[in-house]
Amino acid sequence: MADTIDPTLLGVADTVRLTTTGELTAVAAVEASLARIAAIDAQLNAFSVVLGDAALAEAADRDRALAAGETPGPLHGVPVAIKEEIDVAGCVTTYGGVANSTPVAADAEVVRRLRAAGAVVVGKTTMPEFGAFPYTESVARGFTHNPWDRSRSPGGSSGGTAVAVATGMVPVGLGGDGGGSIRVPSACCGLFGLKPQRGRVTTAPTEHLWWALGTAGPLARSVLDSAMVYDVIRGNVETDLFRAGPTGSFVEAAGRDPGRLRIGWSATCPTRGVRPDPVHVATLQEAATRLADLGHEVVEVDPHYPDTTFAFVPQFFAGIRAEADAMEHYERLERRTRQSYRMGAWVRPGVLSWALKQGEKVAAKANRVFDECDVLLIPTIAHRPPKIGVITGKGTVRSSLASLPAIGYAALWNVTGNPAASVPCGIAADGLPTAVQLVGRTDDETTLLSLAAQLEAAHPWPLQAPR
């Protein structure tokens, strides 16, 4: 039967089902992944490093362990891709540039957990330097292309991971989200991308990812696939600066009916001056109607969004400066990154502490919307996936302004820490994916997963970009 299976068409759940029953070997799954990368990535530029020999050896170890009677892990034999900012043993953690040159000795904790669960790391994926902007363009790696239209951006900063998953190069990949960087490329590439509650996923070996803004997490082709990975990687270690509250199994939540929810929808953008494309407004209204048809109470709300400027901007600059200070070769950073570093010199420890407190005030105001509803339904991004080259040649200020349509609906929830997910909604007339964003109460990822899975079942979305 293995000869009739194309592993690159499988998601996480189906891959695990087949590898644990012996219908598909881990080696065969990884071989198919590597063959697909070799066949199409030259035109897409999703991978910065491919770990072919190491991945095949790791897969062979998985097969031997299974044959010896060992209990397979929950991600047994699943090929995974890892965003460049996350440590993978033996690889240089480049953060999308060339300012580091020494391979790291150990995996980041989330990667260690993936391997312990049976996953196989096949490579690392492209990102803009430090993930500072939501378009996957860099001096070091050039442009990463959207597989639905190669003249378009896949978004970012987890753009390489998004492209790898959307095209079946891997069933799932890790990204990071400090201002929308899981949700933005998910929306651009037709994936499910959940930003979890702040502190849900460890950032070890670092204490934080852009202070209170960032988190790691998977980009996946289904809600269940995302939940399976989260149940493996979530949880803290002693060094984590932020910690989430208690929660139940994400996998169980993805398989559970959400019950009748109060869902408030709004097309208003938290970022002043940013207007959503009519395609996104229509998609939002269609999703609201669909949710009402599923039995939920759906009403338009005014979220009364607070201004995030004084909480977000200092942490943005502090994040860049912290990562730049850790580089081996500062002089090799991109010109724009060095400009951002200089511009952020005013963010001294006292300013950063003040910004974190401002973030708490923003969170208190933003969460008042949940007095009216259980889940907030809004767009994920304001613009359609733009032509590549959005930030090329621009400095910090112009790049930031060009980024507002991408992060306008997303960055607020990094400041507040709330869970938020980009949910695919199909393909628009322009041939590119559409999406909506579900935002939940503090620590309530499980409601978002249940609701997103219900939407997925009622209105299945394309699981891969065209082949």
Residues marked as catalytic? 83, 157, 181
Q: How many CA atoms lie within 13 A of 223 on its CB side?
A: 29
420-427 and 433-440 beta bridge pairing: antiparallel
Q: Mention every residue, 6+ apart, whose C-beta is less than 8 A from residue 88.
A: 51, 82, 104, 107, 108, 111, 121, 124
375-378 and 262-265 beta bridge pairing: parallel
Identity of residue 200: R
Residue 50's DSSP bridge partners are 123
CA torsion through residues 49, 54, 56, 59, sign:
negative
**Are the C-beta atoms of residues 433 and 148 closer than 8 Å to each other?**
yes
> 10 Å Cβ neighbour count for 400?
17
Distance of CA 182 to the CA centre of its chain: 2
Orientation of helix 12-21 relative to helix 26-44, angle to 10°: 150
What separation, in Å, do the N-terminal and C-terminal C-alpha atoms of the chain show? 23
The encoded tokens of residue 26 equal 């881990």
Identity of residue 307: D
**Are the C-beta atoms of residues 257 and 250 closer than 8 Å to each other?**
no
